[in-house]
Amino acid sequence: MHRIEAISREIMTNGFRCRQCGACCRGDEQTSRVIVSPPEIDRIIKATGLERNGIVVPYPEFIESDKGGRFTFEWCLRNEGGKCIFLAEDGQCSIYSVRPWICRTYPFALDGDTITISECPGIGEEITPEEADALATCLVKRQEAEEEEENAVLKIFSSHTIPMGKTVVFDSRGMWSIHG
């Protein structure tokens, strides 16, 4: 069976319909981490006109380097008042057309060939075969994008030295020093 078809069938078996409750967009920075890659950040900048620093913060789990610096590997969308900054007052996503993969595919994710499912009140609801196919296709594209990002980050990481005492983020575009 084709991979997307197998994933689609599993989604159909579980059932899913977004209830537009916005629950997956709420939570503090510990419970709601919407990870975004550089290409996704670019799309959001283009759509909103916001500056990068107004959109993302470093992934909040840092690793200490042996020279007194610390580093992390990802960016997360900013979270204010217990919700993603792009969750509008009406409960809708204000950057819907450029929302990240993680939002497009929630509550599903792929771990290798295994589907993982996060908590969501929409699980168990009816989904059409076409919707399940579209979601399965998104999941595979998300996984490919994540693998591409991960490989590029590892190359960047192995070719840079973390400056003494600095906090940095590694992504596929380089090493970003964090100030303040």
- Residues 50, 54, 58, 60: is their CA dihedral positive or negative? negative
Minimum distance, C-beta of residue 94 to ligand SF4, in the bound complex (Å): 7
Spatial neighbors of 32 by CB under 8 A, at least 6 apart, are: 24, 25, 26, 79, 83, 84
Q: Which of 93, 140, 152, 178 binds ligand SF4 (CB under 6 A)?
A: 93
Separation of first and last alpha carbons in the chain: 52
Complete DSSP assignment for 116-165: EE---TTBTS---HHHHHHHHHHHHHHHHHHHHHHHHHHHHHHT--PPTT
Minimum distance, C-beta of residue 128 to ligand SF4, in the bound complex (Å): 21
Nearer Cβ to ligand SF4, position 24 or 168? 24
- Which 28-47 residues touch ligand SF4, going by CB under 6 A? 34
Nearer Cβ to ligand SF4, position 90 or 111? 90
Q: Which of 71, 73, 75, 86 binds ligand SF4 (CB under 6 A)?
A: 86
Stretch touching ligand SF4 by CB under 6 A, among 50-58, 63-71, 83-91, 165-173: 83-91
Q: Which residues bind ligand SF4 (CB under 6 A)?
A: 25, 34, 77, 84, 86-87, 93, 95, 99, 103
